[in-house]
Structures are given as C-alpha cells and as structure tokens.
Amino acid sequence: MARFFVSPDEIQSDFMVLTGDNAAHAKVLRLKCGEKVTVSDGSGRECVCTVSDVSPGQISLVVDTISDSKTEAAVQVSVFMAFAKGDKLEHVIQKATELGAYEIIAFPSARCVSRPDAKSLVKKVERWQKIAASAAEQSGRGRIPTVHTVDSYKEALSCAAKADTAILFYENEKATTLKMALQEKPYRSVSLLTGPEGGLEPSEVKEAMACGLKVCTLGSRILRCETAPLCALSAVMYDSGEF
Amino acid sequence: MARFFVSPDEIQSDFMVLTGDNAAHAKVLRLKCGEKVTVSDGSGRECVCTVSDVSPGQISLVVDTISDSKTEAAVQVSVFMAFAKGDKLEHVIQKATELGAYEIIAFPSARCVSRPDAKSLVKKVERWQKIAASAAEQSGRGRIPTVHTVDSYKEALSCAAKADTAILFYENEKATTLKMALQEKPYRSVSLLTGPEGGLEPSEVKEAMACGLKVCTLGSRILRCETAPLCALSAVMYDSGEF
C-alpha cells in the first residue's frame, strides 16, 4: 500500500486531500479511484484511506480508519554519529531510518576530518531530513526520525546520556560487550555513539565515561565509521525483540 | 599494525618477502625497518613480523610469531543474497566482510532484474573477491571470505540448507522471528538468505521451506535488499556472543 506523509494538522477524521509533492508522487504511482493508501502524520499516527477522486495536482481521499502506527519500534534508539567524509552520513541516515532509529544526531569530534560550517550545515540537515522522510516512506514507518546536529562533542554526550542506556563504541575496548551493557537493566531508550574515520581520542572516551556512557566493543574486527552505527542499531533492535 | 595477505605457501616460519601489490602497498604506507606488520594467509593463520629490509618492489620480513587469527568469528555465517541492481552486491560484500561473514553467495531468483550472463559473472566474481580481500585487510580479519555464485535458486537452497541453522527472510512472515529460529538449538554455522529488490515469490518461499529453511521476519519495517542481509548478519554476530 502506498504511503504518504502529511503534517499533523492535515490529518482529518473523514476526508483528506493530497497536494504538492504527494499529488505528484500519486501520479507517478498511477493511483486510481477505489485504491487504498496509508497517510501518516510522520509522528506515529496514520490513516488508511480510499482514493475517491484523482484530479491534476489533487487526490481526494475518504478516511477509513485512524490508528497508531504498528511499524514503530518499541525501543527509542538515538544514533549519535560523528561527522564523516563523503556521503557516509547520508548512507547511515537512510539505513538507520529503515532499521527503526528514533533520531540521528551528527556531532563534531577531535579527529573529524569533515567539519561543515554553520551555513552549509543548515542545507545539509535539510537534505538529511529529506533522506529520512523518503526512507521512512519506503520502509513503511509511521514516524520520520528527526535528524539534527549538535555544536560540540560535549553537547552530544549530554544528549546521549539522557537515554536509559547510553553506549559509546570504542575499538580499544575489549572486555565489555554490547550484550553486557544491554542486560544490565531494562531499557526503553538507548543512545549509540560512534566516532569518525580516525576513531575517538582516549580523552574523549574518558569524557564520555564521566558523563555516564558505557564503553563497549563491537567485536574484534575494525568496523568502518558508517558500518558501526548500523551494526549496533541492528543488534539493539534484535535484542529488544523486534525480530 | 598494517596487514598483508599472502598465499598459504608463502607463509614461512623464519623469513618472508612481500612483493607485487603488497610491496606497492607497503611503499604507500612508508613502512620502515623495525616496524611490525601482520601477514595472513587469508585462511585464518597469521604471523607477526618485523620489517628487516625495504628495497624497491621487495620488503623483507623476519617472522616473530605464527598463530591462528584472533579476529575470526566463532560462528560461520554464509550470506546468500539474490542478484541486485547497481552496486548493491559490492556494498554487501564489503560490509559483510567487515561484520565477519564466512562467505557470500550471490544467486538468481524469479524477480531478479539483474541477471548477469556467465561471461560478465566471471569478471564480477573476480572484482567481488578483491573487494572482500580489501575489506578483510582493513577490518583486520585473518580470513578472506569467499565470494561465489550459484546458477539457480534451487542450488542456493541446497547450499544454504547445509548449515546448522538455515534462514530465509520474508516480508510477509509475521510470526517467526530470527530470535526464535536461533534459540531452537545451538549453532556453529548459519545461512541467511534474502531476496532481490522485488522480494521473493511465495512459491520460492515454499520451496525453501521444503528444503528445510526456516522462514523469519526482520521486523515490521520493509528493509531494502542491501540492508536486510547486513541487519541479519549483525544480529547473528550479536546473538552468538561476538559483541
């Protein structure tokens, strides 16, 4: 079933109209009267609707049912990823959205080679949010993960520490596994923090521990900076009973 | 520590020489006398060596110790992925190697849009094997996963079924999770089979069940064909105690 995102105030209990990009998308899909579609407010509420009229630039819908989305993960996972070169963040945003991440936060750290300035960041975040929206649509999610940035590593740590379980992955940690960290106590929210291409500095790891983050290994193989967050996210979703 | 792969017959107990691509790579790394390197036979045996001489096209090494690799996963995971468009298989081969896959097998299925002919497959497999070798080197693996193809879906199923636990992921399966399948019995080898962009046909899923594969879900969100195998592989590595 095709899925469209509208703003929460556009969700109505009886009739709705798709316009703009949604109408253009509906045209590409060649939607016809009588077909069923899902319309989501991007925050977890969604309607199943029947197409009642197709006009240029406007698709009319009759609302059949409204309910909470059934495709959102029970656990809220926040993915904290250091700024990385090339299109690695785009890649992680797309995949993390499919895998059910609640939000993705990009942050600067000591060894980041990529250091976008404030002006280019505004454009980047806009682009990243579009990637998340498109991946949410394709994967059938009821919520579009928010993508944002923080100005400092310190700020990333203090945001990450708010979760029930906050974890930093470090290649020099050999003893504490993700499984140990997750089994310590029940969790409804998890933060996963990973470093840039060159890794995190030992002083940054210490700083994270002081903020209450647990330092864990992702195994004996060195994962690229775009592989680590997705591996960890998959494992948390598995651990929390998603599949 | 830099890592080089040589053929098993080149591994010696006292002295070794790096030539060809390895010597070129050593030059890029600006290796100097006295530095330590790891030389692996790509099958799980590796030596720690000290550079004793650097000449153009030839690096001489003194072997310090020989041992079994400590970075190979305890569980052997075979990733069966249907032929996919663009560079998706390349992507999965690189990431699955980092994540510790034992082998990657590409296969044709009914809805595959990409259907490389025998001639182009020879070139592709050669290229894929190089991607695996390079990812194995970067991630510090002691073994290069083998990448191969099978001629039919039937053959993929009969290969996959040889593992202790063989699993096919299907988006229409709602009840059986990967966790249920893995908890049924202890496993030392696992096959993970995923479909192409358009998914597997219901008849193909039935055929797999008849061959002894368990049909599982990867959660309520629809994963892209390049995301599903890596998500499943991460979960199996987590479940088997790798991290």
Task: Please tell me what DSSP assigns to residue B8.
Answer: G
Residue B13 has a pLDDT of: 86
Q: How confident is the model at residue B190 (pLDDT cuts 50, 70, 90)?
A: very high
Picking from B183, B192, B221, B226 by the largest number of A CB atoms within 10 A of its own CB, the best residue to mutate is B221
Select from B211, B212, B106, B78 the least CA-distant residue to B154: B211
Picking from B94, B192, B220, B224 by the largest number of A CB atoms within 10 A of its own CB, the best residue to mutate is B220
Provide, rounded to the nearest whole percent, the portion of chain A with pLDDT above 90: 92
Residue B115 has a pLDDT of: 86
| Residue A71 C-alpha, separation from nearest chain B C-alpha, in angstroms | 5
Binary contact (B220, A239; C-beta < 8 A): no
As a whole number of angstroms, the distance between CA A6 and CA A143 comes to 11
Segment B19-34 shows an average pLDDT of 93
Residue B100 has a pLDDT of: 98
- Among candidates B223, B227, B238 on the partner chain, residue whose Cβ is nearest the Cβ of A179: B238
| Residue B168 C-alpha, separation from nearest chain A C-alpha, in angstroms | 13
Q: Does the pLDDT at position B221 exceed 90? A: yes
Binary contact (A238, B178; C-beta < 8 A): yes
Picking from B238, B239, B240 by the largest number of A CB atoms within 10 A of its own CB, the best residue to mutate is B238
Chain A residue with CA closest to B226: the answer is A95
As a whole number of angstroms, the distance between CA B139 and CA A18 comes to 48
Check the CA dihedral B126-B102-B181-A187 and report its sign: negative
Q: Which residues of B touch A179 (CB under 8 A)?
A: 238, 241, 243
Q: Does the pLDDT at position B1 exceed 90? A: no
Select from A197, A189, A202 the least CA-distant residue to A222: A197
Q: Rounded mean pLDDT of chain A?
A: 95
* ipTM score for this prediction: 0.93
Q: Does the pLDDT at position A114 exceed 90? A: no
Q: Which residues of A touch B230 (CB under 8 A)?
A: 230-231, 234
Residue B129 has a pLDDT of: 96
Chain B residue with CA closest to A216: the answer is B243
Q: Which residues of A touch B179 (CB under 8 A)?
A: 238, 241, 243
As a whole number of angstroms, the distance between CA B103 and CA B126 comes to 14
Report pLDDT digits (tens) over B109-137: 999 998 888 899 999 999 999 999 999 99
Report pLDDT digits (tens) over A38-64: 999 988 899 999 999 999 999 999 999
Q: Does the pLDDT at position A215 exceed 90? A: yes
Residues of A at the B interface, defined by Cβ within 8 angstroms: 70-71, 73, 95, 98-100, 138-141, 177-179, 216-224, 227, 230-232, 234-235, 237-239, 241-243
DSSP B193-226: EE--TT---HHHHHHHHHTTPEEEB--SSPPPTT
H-run or E-run covering A45? strand A45-55
Chain A residue with CA closest to B219: the answer is A243
Segment A150-164 shows an average pLDDT of 97
Task: Please give the angle made by the CA atoms of A218, A219 and A220, to the nearest 5 degrees.
Answer: 135
Q: Which residues pair with B112 in a beta bridge?
A: none
Segment A21-36 shows an average pLDDT of 93
Q: Rounded mean pLDDT of chain B?
A: 95
Cβ-Cβ contacts under 8 Å between A and B: the total is 107
Q: Does the pLDDT at position B12 exceed 90? A: no
Segment B46-74 shows an average pLDDT of 94
Does the reported pTM lie above 0.80? yes
Residue A12 has a pLDDT of: 87
Binary contact (B139, A178; C-beta < 8 A): no
Report pLDDT digits (tens) over A60-105: 999 999 999 999 999 999 999 999 999 999 999 999 999 999 999 9
Place of tokens 């700020």: A155
Chain B residue with CA closest to A173: the answer is B243
Select from A118, A89, A123, A120 the least CA-distant residue to A106: A89
Residue A201 has a pLDDT of: 97
